[in-house]
Amino acid sequence: MNILLHPTYFPSISHFVAIAQAEKITFEMEDNFQKQTNRNRTYIYSPNGIQLLNIPVKHTKDGHQKTKDIQIETDMDWQKQHFKSLEAAYRNSPFFEFFEDDIQKVYDKKHKFLMDLNFDAFEIVSKFLRMKFEYEKTSEYFHEINSGSITDLRHLVNGKKDQSVFENYTQVFDDKHGFISNLSVLDLIFNEGRFAIDYLKNQVLPI
């Protein structure tokens, strides 16, 4: 399967189910930025249930910017907030301590552009999964993909609309709130460790 995806912030499990099963991966680089999507947000399992982690970004007056040109807002210490949220959510998970130093390094960097952060997050997740994913980037934008040789999965960037449901695995707070499907892939990694990649390869992605 050849797939087309948006680069997102610590991608959802649905993103990585597709990536882990793909023969070829292409990332969309020429789209216009849209608010309230996973381009700059991800969802984790906090002690109180689902928690949104949102990266503040700078907006132009006319509102039209390509995602690759979006800059991160530097006036607030969102990195510290996000890392503390991950600690609170996953400190007691089986594998958080094995990955926290690498996660901390991502937040220690002062990324200027959102796209650079998203690719950094993708690379660190690839490292956690012990898989090197080769990918290409688009050079022009197509609203619709008519080629039968590529599966357009760009809709997965719309986190609220992505209702993918996958098999249960043990989560830190599932005794309080039950199993929550399709969070950030970090939820799977912190709870399943080296078994995460097998999980991803065995799931069925509703397309």
Ranges of the chain with pLDDT below 50: none
pLDDT in the model for residue 145: 85
pLDDT in the model for residue 61: 75
pLDDT in the model for residue 7: 98
Contacts of 41 (CB under 8 A, 6+ apart): 9, 52, 53, 54, 55, 159
Domain ranges of the chain: 2-196
pLDDT in the model for residue 196: 98
Report the C-alpha gap between 2 and 55 in whole angstroms: 29
Q: What are phi and psi of 168, to 5 degrees?
A: -70, 145
pLDDT in the model for residue 206: 80
pLDDT in the model for residue 76: 86
Amino acid identity at 152: D
Report the C-alpha gap between 181 and 167 in whole angstroms: 8
